[in-house]
Structure 1
Amino acid sequence: MAENGNGAAPQPETQPAATPQTPRMQVLAQFIRDMSFENVVAQKGLTNAEVQPEMSVQVSLDARKRPAENQYEVTTKFKITSANRADKAPLFLLELEYGGIFHVEGVPDEQMHPYLLIECPRMLFPFVRRIVSDVTRDGGFPPLNLDTVDFLALYRSELARRAEAQKTQPQALI
């Protein structure tokens, strides 16, 4: 073997081990797809005296691939109802469908579904919280500051629900 300039034999060239690409996400756009606020108190001409609101918040998620490479659309849907604790009379109903368009790279295919339904909604949530607060305040109620949504728990719960639904459905005979 020939020596290199320092008297040592040259080392064989080795290929660096393939390192996994670091996930990268960029929010390209975000938007309100649909929103509805029904102020039942104002419609019925009721007063706010002796009202003790009880809130119910339902969250659902959806994601889909867009035609452009590495682009996905994620939609969060919130249905917030408020009823009087004493007589269960409705006070208001707020439905908000808020979407975002994301450029996502470096996420393995088997991890893309949870990534889109956990990380992307987590990025959108502060904006949803602000919209809900502003709309309820502008609707004549105290601003509703939503508690942080645990999108990981929501995702796991949906997986468990689907697995249970599959168990209870009869299997088709071939």
Structure 2
Amino acid sequence: MARPKSTPSQVGRRSRLKGKTFEAEIARDLRDVFDPPGLVKKLVDASRFPKLHRELLKRSRVRRARQSEGAKHSDVVVEDCAWWFELSTSAGVSPIRKLAQAEKDIYDTGSDQLPIVITREKGRQSIQVTVRMGTLMALYELFTPAPLTQREKDVVVQIDYPDLIDRLRWNETRHHRKTSHG
């Protein structure tokens, strides 16, 4: 027996749910990086208690943007952070188009954040990160003897998502060591 065709509203609802689930997954990973370990543990422990979980989320530096905010914020917002996280999960994801969208949104909002595009193609488990060379160099705190030309800064590169999380964690740990030791 053939399955009935999905209506456009059902397809849209499934797509929004898939996007929301992906954003929640990335937000959880970023909380592990940017929030204090005690808060992260409390959030995990409270996951079965929605009211308590919502209250604890208010203390987190990381949150999913509300759809009503439009392009005023990245998809996952990290307070006091240099990075603008733009996310996408769908068939035929164009990371370069998402990067251009993030750059436009950053420009339109007057932000000085650097865009990081995190994508997962439909049916795949691996997550890819797309950035410009200038952003990658800032992320890895790399400095060259001669400044990069604008063309070099604009080169698009991809890295694996676990490498991004490791680098963000390293940067955050290093930053906290610097600020706590003067």
Between Structure 1 and Structure 2, which shows a larger proportion of strand residues? 1
TM-score with structure 1 setting the length = 0.23
Which structure has the bigger radius of gyration? 1
The structure showing larger relative contact order (alpha-carbon pairs under 8 Å, at least 6 residues apart) is 1
